[in-house]
Each structure stands twice: as structure tokens, then as C-alpha cells.
Amino acid sequence: MHYVDGKWLNSDSTFAVTNPATGEVIGAVADGGAAEAERAVAAADGAFGGWASTTAYERSSVLYRCWELMTERAEQLAQTMTAEQGKPLRAARNEVKYGADFLLWYAEEAKRVYGETIPAPRADQRFVVMRQPVGVCAAITPWNYPISMLTRKIGPALAAGCTIVLKPAEQTPLCAQAMFEIFHDAGVPAGVVNLVNTSDPASVGAAWLADARVRKLTFTGSTEVGKLLAQQAAPTMKRVSMELGGHAPFIVFDDADPVHAAKGASLVKFLNTGQACISPNRIYVQRSIADRFVDTLSERVAKM
């Protein structure tokens, strides 16, 4: 289901969610499009004034409550992630933990949105800088870290006083739905957080980027899609924050322990089956220690 203006909504159509390990259909979610995207923006825009006018301590309190509920439901969230995304349960539990930590961090950061006082050239002047929330933020999250990337985007938006519309990856909508249940139960005001599921991400993204009420985009995904979104955001001069496909060289010099380095390389290279922006995509080892490094790396990979 979608979550818009504090309510759970259906669509005329749905799409299936499958367990990638077994191919089993584990659920079906509402399949939205441009109409649902516009409705979510309208809700976020309508709620922005009220949320932006809350105190930092009020926003902090809401984020703390979200963190508490996420911690209480950690095992349920991890089970959902493993079934839907496919990562081992141990890894899912770890992601839920540090995903919750993002909410805890921004609960504190909400109280630290400091301004500045700047020396003026005249005695009768005073220059003051005040930080103001930018407005409605659109967030697009990936499938590889479906909960931590969600909290990493929603946490700072709420802390700053922004409202948000979010589209999760079509492979992992159940994780997002479980998180929005937490936001609802934690008392996040209606319209402040909004969720639109879709099997056609281009239609939702295009609708949000064409809408002047959306003032900022945050996206984690491929460089190819990031370039397209940047082009679509340009006509309305949206602020854009993106985390795109990584370039991650793993460099080992001869003053390092090649065995220890090889163990580290094998760990991060195959982290989340390699679907992580910090996974090395090329390895450089100084010639004098290359043999020991390669032997250790080959041995560890052979055991996988």
C-alpha cells in the first residue's frame, strides 16, 4: 500500500514481491504512478508549513520515538528484509541496527541546526544567517540496503523541518512499508512522510522532478539513472544529493601486511554479494608482496 497524508491507500493495480532466493511470491503491493506521485507531493506541500514551524526539540522527540519503535521491531524488520531482499539474516539484523542509528543521530542533529552571526561593516547593522528547511524533498532509495538508505534520507529531512515523498526500489517495497508503519505509529504528523510504491519508477520520478513544489531530490543508485534525474531536475532548479555507482580501488603498499590486507579485501569485495558502493572494483598491490596477497585472497575466495 501507499502511505499518503497519514493514510494507507490502495491502487487499481498491484505488483508482486518475490523472495530472490526461492522465487516465491511473498506479497503484493499497490502499484502507483503519476497520479499517486502528485497526491503525495500535495500532501507533503500541505504539511510543510506546520512541520517547519515546529521546534527543533519537537522534531527531535518524534525522531527519538521512531528510533525506539524501530529498535523494538528490529527482528521483524530483519526478517522482512531477508525474505524480500535476500541478504543473510545476520546481515539484515546489522543493517536494521545501523539504520536505526541514523534516526538516533538525526534526533540529536535536529537540535544543532545552528546559524551564524557575521561582523557587519557598520555599527547600525547586524548580519544574521538562519537555516531554513528547503521544502518538500523527494527520495528514491535502492534495493541493496532498503532500510538504512531510507532512514539515512528521511532522518535528516525530518530533522531539518522538511517533508518528504519517497519511492523505494520495486524489489523491496515491503521494507519501506514496515518503516512507514513505524513513522505512523510514532506520531509523525500526516503529510510529513509519504510513500509511493511503483513497478514503473520512471513515471513517479518524472512526476516529482517536473513538480515545482518539490525543492530537493536525494537519490542512491546507478550513475546512468543519476545523470537522467539530474537533467530532469534542472528546469526547476532543484537541489540534488546523489550517491551513485562507486569507483573503489583497493590499494596495498609493501609496508602493509599482505595477509591481513587480503582478508580485508575478500570481506569488502563480497559484502552484500558485491552489491555495495564500497566494494572494490579493482585491486592494486605492490609487486614485492603481490604473491602473498594473491595466495591469501585465492584461498579465502575458494572457501566461499
What is the C-alpha separation between 243 and 199, in angstroms, rounded?
22
Report d(CA 32, CA 14) in Å as an integer: 8
The question of whether 109 is a catalytic residue gets the answer no
The rounded distance, in Å, linking the Cα atoms of 139 and 151 is 11
| Alpha-carbon span 225 to 222, nearest angstrom | 5
State how far the alpha carbon of 104 is from the alpha carbons of 57, 187, 201, 300, in Å: 13, 16, 30, 36
Q: Is 283 left (phi over 0), alpha (psi -120 to 50) or beta?
A: beta
Nearest to 145 by CA among 204, 202, 104, 86: 86
Helix locations, the chain, DSSP H:
34-52, 56-72, 74-85, 89-109, 148-160, 173-185, 201-210, 223-233, 258-269, 290-302
Cell of 242: 546523489
Which of 287, 288, 296, 290 minimizes the C-alpha distance to 266?
Answer: 296
Q: What does the buried/exposed string (b/e) look like for 16-36 if buried means 16 or more CB atoms within 10 Å of the residue's CB?
A: ebeeeeeeeeebebbbbbbeb
Identify the active-site residue in 24, 68, 277, 299: 277
Q: Which of 68, 109, 170, 243 is catalytic?
A: 243
Would you say the C-alpha torsion 246, 247, 253, 257 has a positive or negative sign? positive
β pairing state of 25-30 and 14-18: antiparallel
- Check if 24 is active-site: no
Active site residues: 243, 277
